[in-house]
Structure 1
Amino acid sequence: MIKRKRTMYGLLLVMVCCVTACATKKQVAPVVNTKREVLDVMRSANTYFMEKWPDTGKPIYTNRWRPSNIWTRAVYYEGLMALYKIDADQRYYDYAVDWGTKHAWGLRNGTQTRNADDQACGQTYLDLYEIDPKPERLATIKTNIDYVIASGKVDDWTWIDAIQMAMPVFAKLGVLQKDDRYFDYMYKMYAHSKNSEGGGLYNTKDKLWWRDKDFVPPYQEPNGEDCYWSRGNGWVVAALVRVLDLLPDTDPHKTEYLQDYKNLMEGVLATQRTDGFWNVSLHDPTNFGGRETSGTALFAYGMAWGLNNGLLDAKTYRPALNRAWNAMVKESVHPSGFLGYLQGTGKEPKDGQPVSFSSVPDFEDYGLGCFLLAGSAYYVLLDKEGMK
């Protein structure tokens, strides 16, 4: 009898250990990517795009013609420059320089535009100026931002996408010009979006951002929750990452940006799908729910950057990052390099639908830019960990 009890106890102990091991395995996604694999998939996706768009100055046609220095293409070049930092292929640099040259290093609506979508190209112009300080690469974007500062008007960023499009430009100019005026004015514009626009677009309770004042409560999603658009929050993640990468520690607002970044990453982490992706609507998976690549890539970018800089807890965020990257590689990337599950342009879950593996968004460029930002930061993390 005693022997039988011991046998049953042993079997029970084995079962408990198996359940615990399975639970642990489920919680911690293994790293299945080498640096080479990460780089190869980025190269594939980028080659697909460069071959499709050999003329960097060619206008983009969807429902109408648009110049190719608009925000969608600017985000692609942000990603390309990130790729260039880890994979110094001369073709990438030449492709970016040719883009700037074809547009005379200018902005879509000239030096007196206040539209952040016009200013986004300045991020790459300034990156290229830093590599080779030819004055034409700096002149127009600096003239424009100086014009904005001289106006005294700080309420331009009425939608959260604008924070990513323009805020890093101010930060980069502040560094390059050694002039705190750019940092100070950037903060005033950010603070307006965060605290004043529509009553404040940042919700401290959910640690997420409403896309613009149209989505501030009493607006609700079909399930009664607040509407937090995935890619919109992703833009804020990217903006904070890129600004924190540039700001000197002496900046009086850096601590606030850092806390906003950490809080936002908490809000984002709580909404990740079990398959590694995020839905287009972070708090309502029934409103055009399903895999979506651009928001997922931006959140992965934020997580990888935070882990690289020791700002996020690895036990908490590394499994989430692994799930996100693996999901995109396995489910989004076509053999050709085309990215599926990419929501088209818009401002809320219903826009740019349907989103599927084979659906082609109205613009393919910004999704690739987000993916390259994520992959480059993930590559750096693997490199730090000694992965081959």
Structure 2
Amino acid sequence: MKKSYLIFFILCYSVNAQNIKASSVKKEMKRVANWQIDHFRDTYSGRKKPHHIADWTNGALYVGMVKYAEIAKNKKYWKWLKNIGEQQNWKLHWRKYHADDHVVGQMYVELYRKYGDKEMIAETIKGMNYIIDNPSKEPITLDNYKHLERWTWCDALFMAPPLLAKLANETNDSKYTTFMMREYEATKQHLFDFEENLFYRDNSYIGKLAHGNKIFWSRGNGWVFGGLTLIMDEYEKDSEAYEYFKDIYLKMAKKLIDIQTPQGHWAMSLLSQDVYPTPETSGTSFFTFGLAWGINNGLLDKSTYLPHIEKAWSSLCSHITKDGMLGYVQPIGAAPGNAWADKTEVYGAGAFLAAGAEIYKMLKK
């Protein structure tokens, strides 16, 4: 009897450990992508109006939607993205220096790469050139939200640096890389905790403890970790830029698998799992995306990291509703908080699609 039970347990474990198939990943991505497109102009995070189409929230969605469009083999997703660019007249959002208003430019570059129309990136190049030629003189600190012209909060490292890396690649002009790396290093020195290998959301959290632990916001670090992969995609593996970002990436990756919850997600306050037991899918999606990318690009050992990716993906998929909505996405915020099974956000869907795309590539290999 005991022997039969042991065999049954081993068989069940083997099935559970290998239950992610490329076809099922693509199916879940399609459900989430289609639901989000159908509900694109809904209101989220308690706002009275839908997000502006060039808002950072949607910019993160577009990053994931581009990655899904590349594997979906259905032109409707490219057409949907292209329509967004046309509605916006291929312009960045309204604030010249604010990183959140630059992220939509990442989609423009990807559409330019597909369609070859220089009009798609002309305004983006113009906007980034202005910033480089007229760099902000504001401090790197974030004081009561007064200083937002530089990358003074860690989310910004997803929004602007990948765009500058893409422009460096497309224009073959090193000025974008030079500016980007200088500003990135300033933010790293300001917000990176060299003991924990995680980023503070902004300087208001440096030196503070909650429940005896330092406060590292899950989605904030997810922005950084996902952004690192987008940057490294634009550089040769032996380049100075690639090596710089790889160093940060590997330190974060090692830390992340050490603090993943037994349920597969990451706690909203990364070092306080017991205080924040509620699942949260936006940070978890970004981490899953980044870890799967690392295996696909030969930076992470598959035998070590794959079980963590499988566990995270299973957790994420368990929070998709029957209709295709990704639940448990923390609303707009700047710190650990609450998430609910019946609430979502566009950036959560974007992060999920990015994660699925990398897992799909990994499994297809």
TM superposition score normalised by structure 1? 0.85
What displacement does 1:59 show? Answer: 12
CA distance, structure 2, for counterparts of residue 63 and residue 117 of structure 1 = 20
Residues in 1 aligned to 2:330 and 2:188: alpha-carbon distance in whole angstroms: 25
Q: What residue in structure 2 maps to residue 376 of structure 1?
A: 357
Structure 2: segments with no counterpart, 5+ residues: 141-149
SS at match of 1:270: helix
Question: Partners of 2:273 and 2:182 in 1: how far apart?
Answer: 34
Identical columns (%):
28
**Corresponding residue to 2:169 among 140, 150, 175:** 175
Matching of residue 192 in structure 1 with residue 186 in structure 2: yes
Which shows bigger deviation, 165-174 or 149-158?
149-158
| 1: CA distance, partners of 2:108 / 2:294 | 25
Q: Confirm or deny: 8 A CA contact 2:292 2:355 kept in the other structure.
A: yes
The one-character-per-residue Cα deviations of 1:295-351 (angstroms, maximum 9, x if unpaired) are: 11111101110011121111211100000001111x21111001111101101012x
Q: Alpha carbon RMSD of aligned pairs, Å?
A: 2.6
Partner of 1:87: 72
In the TM superposition, 1:211-222 aligns within 5 A as 211-217=201-207, 219-221=208-210
Deviation (angstroms), 1:86? 1.2
Deviation at 1:66, TM superposition (A): 4.4
Alignment of 1:39 with 2:29, yes or no, is no
Equivalent residue number for residue 115 of structure 1: 98
Residues 51 and 57, structure 2, Cα contact 8 Å, conserved in 1:
no
1:357 to 338, 341, 356: 341
Alpha carbons of structure 1 residues 215 and 29: separation in structure 2 relative to 1, 3 Å: farther
1:165 matched residue in structure 2:
159
Distance in structure 1 (CA, Å) of the matches to 2:199 and 2:192: 4
Picking from 124, 127, 130, the partner of 2:110 is 127
The verdict on how the C-alpha distance between 1:61 and 1:206 changes in structure 2, with shifts beyond 3 A counting, is closer
Out of 139-148 and 63-72, give the one that drifted further. Answer: 63-72
Show the counterpart of 2:307: 319
Match of residue 258 from structure 2? 270
Q: Gaps (5+ residues) in structure 1? A: 1-10
Deviations 1:221-257 (A, max 9, x none): 1x11100100110111111101111112453232121
What letter matches 1:52 in structure 2? H
Q: Equivalent residue for 2:197?
A: 207
Structure-1 separation of matches of 2:37 and 2:80: 8
1:136-161 Cα deviation digits (max 9, x unpaired): 21111111111111123484000000
Matched letter for residue 327 of structure 2: G
Could you say which structure has the larger radius of gyration? 1
**CA deviations over 1:258-300 (Å, ceiling 9, x no partner):** 0110100111111101011111010112444321101111111
Q: Which moved more, 1:148-157 or 1:260-269?
A: 148-157
1:128/1:234 CA distance change after superposition, 3 Å: same
Instruction: Report the CA distance between 1:357 and its aligned residue.
Output: 1.5
Q: 1:144 to 1:328 in 2, by over 3 A?
A: same
Query: Distance in 2 between the 1:230 and 1:59 partners?
Result: 20
The count of aligned residue pairs is 352
Cα separation, 1, equivalents of 2:230 and 2:51 = 27
Following the alignment from structure 1 to structure 2, what is the Cα–Cα distance between the partners of residues 171 and 225? 35
Q: Are the equivalent residues in 2 in contact too, given 1:60–1:68 (CA < 8 A)?
A: no
| Mean CA deviation greater in 154-163 or 302-311 | 154-163
Aligned residue in 2 for 1:4? none
Q: CA 1:255/1:109 → structure 2, altered by over 3 Å: closer, same or farther?
A: same
1:335 and 2:322 are equivalent in the alignment: yes
Counterpart-to-counterpart distance in 2, 1:89 and 1:335:
23
TM-score, structure 2 length as denominator?
A: 0.90
Q: Structure 1 pair 73/91, CA: closer, same or farther in 2 (3 Å)?
A: same
Within 2, Cα distance between the matches of 1:334 and 1:50? 15
Aligned to 1:106: 91
